[in-house]
Amino acid sequence: MSYLDNVRVFVRVVELGTLSAAGRDQRVTPAVASNRIKELERHLGVRLFNRTTRKLTPTEHGRVFYEGAVKIIEAVNEAEGAIADLSQNPKGALRITAPLGIGRRLIASGIPAFHDKYPDIEVRLRLSDHNIDILSEGVDVAFKLGVLEDSNLRMRGILNCERVICAAPAYLEKRGTPATPDALIDDKHDCLLLRYPGSKEYYWTLQTPEGPRKFEIGGPYDSDDGDVLTQWALEGRGIINKPLFEVKAHLDCGALVEILKDSPPTSVQLAAIYPHKRFQDPKVRLMIDFMAERCQRLIGRLLADPPREDAVATG
C-alpha cells in the first residue's frame, strides 16, 4: 500500500469520524480503510485513534500527526497542480457539490462533457439541499444559491437569479390569491418551506415599498428537497418561493401562477464557492470556468420566452 494513500485515509477518518465515511470518500471499503490505518500505526509505532462503537476520535499522537498530515496532503496537491499547469494535463480527484435543483438541472448533466474534455480529472459529485460544511467535508467547489458567510472561503459569482412566488390554480381557487405579502400570514396560507437541521429558510424576504422585509411564513408541509416542494405546489398543496428558471416551464404552461408580482422575493446569486487554498488548483479553475459558462447558457435558455403558436405553425 502507498504510504501517501494511508495518510490520505487517516486525514479523512479524522475529518469524517468513521472508517466507512472515509472509505466512501476515498473509494475503498471500510476493511481497506481499516487496514491502511493499522499499517500507518505500525509504521509510526503509536495508536492514532480511540475506537468506540460509533466513532473514531484521534489520540494525542493522532492529533499531532493530523496537523502535519494535512500539510503533507496540501503540499502534494499544490505540487500536482503546478505540474498540471506546466503540462496542461490536469489530473486527480475533484469533489464538487450543489443543491438538488441546480445540481440536477445544470451541474450533473455537464459532468460527462467536462470529463470528455479533461479525461484525467476524476469528478465526485454530491447533490444535497443540506448546508454542507465545505471545509470539513473536503469539498473543492460548491455551486450554491446564496451569499458567502465564511471568511475562509472564496466566491465567484456566476449569475443573479430572479425568484418568484407562485402556486397552482387549484390552490388559489380554493384558498384565494393573496393580494399583499401580509396576507400570507394574516390568511394563514400554506407556504411550502425548504427545511432541514440548521436551515435558515424559515422566512421569505420580499420587496416592499419600504424595502426588503422578512416574512415569517408557515404551513403544514416542509421538505429538505426543493423539487419535492415544487411537486407539492403543482398538486395544489401550497405556495412556493423559487428561482424563476426552476419553475419557468410550469408558469408558461399555466400549471403554476405567479403571485405577489409587486412584492417579489429578493433575487439570489448563483455562485461557485471554494476554499482559499484551492484557488490555485487548475482543476478547480477549469471546473468553475466550465460550469459558469454552462449555467449562464442553460439558464438563459430556460428563461427564454416560449415560441409563439403562430411561429410554430408557420415553421
pLDDT digits (tens, 9 = 90+) for 283-292: 888 999 999 9
Residue scoring higher pLDDT (200 or 52): 52
Place 247 in a pLDDT band, splitting at 50, 70 and 90. very high
Domain end among 36, 61, 86: 86
Q: Is residue 314 part of a domain?
A: no
First to last CA, the chain: 64
Give yes or no: residues 146 and 293 share one domain: yes
If one counts the domains in the chain, the total is 3
pTM of the model: 0.67
CATH number where 200 lies: 3.40.190.290
115 and 259 housed in the same domain: no
How do residues 2-13 score in pLDDT, each as one tens digit?
A: 888 888 888 888
Residues 239 and 288 in one domain: no
- Candidate from 27-36, 181-190, 255-264 with smallest mean pLDDT: 27-36
User: Is the pLDDT higher at 169 or at 92?
Assistant: 169
Amino acid at 18: T
Domain end call among 30, 57, 86: 86
Of residues 315 and 64, the one with the higher pLDDT is 64
Same domain, 246 and 111: no
Within-domain flag for 315: no
Give CA–CA dist 166/257, Å, rounded.
5
- Residue type for position 77: N
Domain boundaries, position 298 = 89-159+270-305
Q: Which of 241, 89, 270 is nearest to 178 (CA)?
A: 241
Is 310 a residue whose pLDDT tops 50? no
Q: What average pLDDT does the structure give for the chain?
A: 84
Query: Which three cell numbers mark 172?
Result: 388559489
Residue 250 falls within a domain, yes or no?
Answer: yes
Residue 311 lies in a domain: no
Please check whether residues 234 and 275 belong to one and the same domain: no
Q: In this structure, are residues 270 and 191 in contact, taking their beta carbons and an 8 Å threshold?
A: no
Which grid cell sits at 155? 466566491
- What's the pLDDT tens digit per position in 75-101? 777 776 666 554 566 778 899 999 888
Is 274 found in the same domain as 153?
A: yes
pLDDT above 60 (res 1): no
193 and 262 in a single domain? The answer is: yes
